[in-house]
Structure 1
Amino acid sequence: MAITKDIVGKKLDRFDFTVERGKIKEFCLAINEKNPIYFDVEEAKKAGYSDVPAPPTFPTVIMFWGYPKIWNDMAELGIDLSKILHLKEEYTYHKILYPGKVYAQSEIADVKVGRAEIVTFRTTIYDEKNDPILSAEMAIFIRKD
């Protein structure tokens, strides 16, 4: 099944996620981030935050840990998972991401077909008040045979 522009605008299932301080710490350890604001609430408050903030690239965790169904969704959209390469990740922040409950909604934002196939997913992450915290765009490249 080939990718077509017909899938642009398709929404994926909404999902809930809890941003935990421990997961922020794990993420920081994995990327060798040592800034104490990500590990200690008091250090974060001294720096002007209300809690430990999530580092800027943490939202990728939300998509893959919070929505593992993404792989099934991609396959159902006609994306051959054995041929994908991660192309880009881009974040637009509206406010700081802190520990707590959030929910997210993803959609297909763009499809490019031709010599190369590129699918862009846009995920918006919201707080419990339904206010957007950030939008993340992830693009994948689908290799041709």
Structure 2
Amino acid sequence: MIKIYPTLSVRQPWAGLIALGIKDIENRSWSASPKYYGQTFIIHAGKQVDREAMCGSSSVIDAAEGLVSYVGASFDDFRARLPGNEHVFQTGGIVGSAVLTGCTQLHHSPWAQPTTGTIHWIFEQANPFPFQPLKGQLGIFKAELRDAS
């Protein structure tokens, strides 16, 4: 069954970390409408990588590994979820899904940036998908997929 899902484009390595369920917060300057809370979002990896987050790494997976260690997230969880899911670190397409449970300015997650004005999008129940090329867009956009929930 084909279903339309709200979709959010995120730069790598962040998109892959969300798809693996390692990163539970996406930091944005704007909030999602409460009508999206509880909905499954498609996680789209933009074509561009976050050069600052790469910290000089030559591979997105190496950068993600370093970021997991840096924020004090579970390195064991990352290493357990990565085998067979390396594709979630590709760019320019769909890499997974996660349920948006809410948005807040204060969250205890190590992934939540404590800067003023930052909105923390809270994601749970992440699922990595086989990579599917798709052109991204700004903001929340719609993607048609076979039922992803």
TM-score, normalised with respect to structure 2: 0.29
Q: Which has the higher contact order (CA 8 A, sep 6+)?
A: 2
Please tell me whether Structure 1 or Structure 2 has the larger radius of gyration of its CA atoms.
Answer: 1
